[in-house]
A and B are shown apart, each in its own frame.
Chain A
């Protein structure tokens, strides 16, 4: 298994609260991704990173920000959580943009 961990694995929070999810990899892969998974939508890309301090938006980036200060860590922040951000969040890594992505175990977030 690719060395990818996500923390926390489960979180319950209240509307308006800031939340940060962490993705950590030990594979030294250049690319890191954050997806959310919702019924009927498959996996949708929130943001991705192609290097330290290099990030780009995905198709559902509104309300989310990311940071990557080290190769191994990619943080996803919900500045002010809303109920529509209740979802399962997956981090993924890849050696290059066209190559296979390896997924972390997921974080289940509930915003009340």
Chain B
């Protein structure tokens, strides 16, 4: 059972367009939210770690926002380029006895950017 849900499962974007997608996670006992970028045939690479409600992070054309009260995060890609094609994973870290130290990943949003 995935308590962390990502939508949509996949999306196709024209080069130059901007896009965004969602990660939903349990809001109770929240500690941190991770975003990773995963290219085909490679390993996941860290984008952001977010901990505070209202937090915003930016790395180049990619940015993320966090709402811990309602349990969601958005990832934005501005002016998509073919090299942005990847699966984007989010993962939540909860501060409970059972979950502490264990990231729970969503299934990912696969982004395909076409020229």
Contact = CB atoms under 8 A, between A and B. Distances in A.
Contacts of B42: 105
B79 to A, nearest CB: 25
A93 B31 CA distance: 19
A48 B49 contact: no
Contacts of B89: 42-43
Interface residues of A, number: 24
Nearest to B107: A42
A53 to B, nearest CB: 16
Contacts of A97: 93, 100-101
A97 B32 CA distance: 10
A41 interface: yes
Contact of A48 (B34, B93, B101, B105): B101
B102 to A, nearest CB: 5
B73 to A, nearest CB: 15
Contact of A43 (B31, B32, B44, B51): B44
A74 interface: no
Interface in B36-95: 42-46, 49, 51, 89, 91, 93
Interface of A: 31, 35, 40-45, 48, 50, 56, 58-59, 90, 97-106
Interface of B: 2, 4, 31-32, 34, 42-46, 49, 51, 89, 91, 93, 100-108
Given A98-B51, A102-B46, 15 more contacts: A35-B105, A41-B2, A41-B107, A42-B4, A43-B91, A48-B101, A50-B101, A58-B102, A98-B31, A98-B49, A100-B46, A101-B46, A103-B44, A103-B45, A104-B43
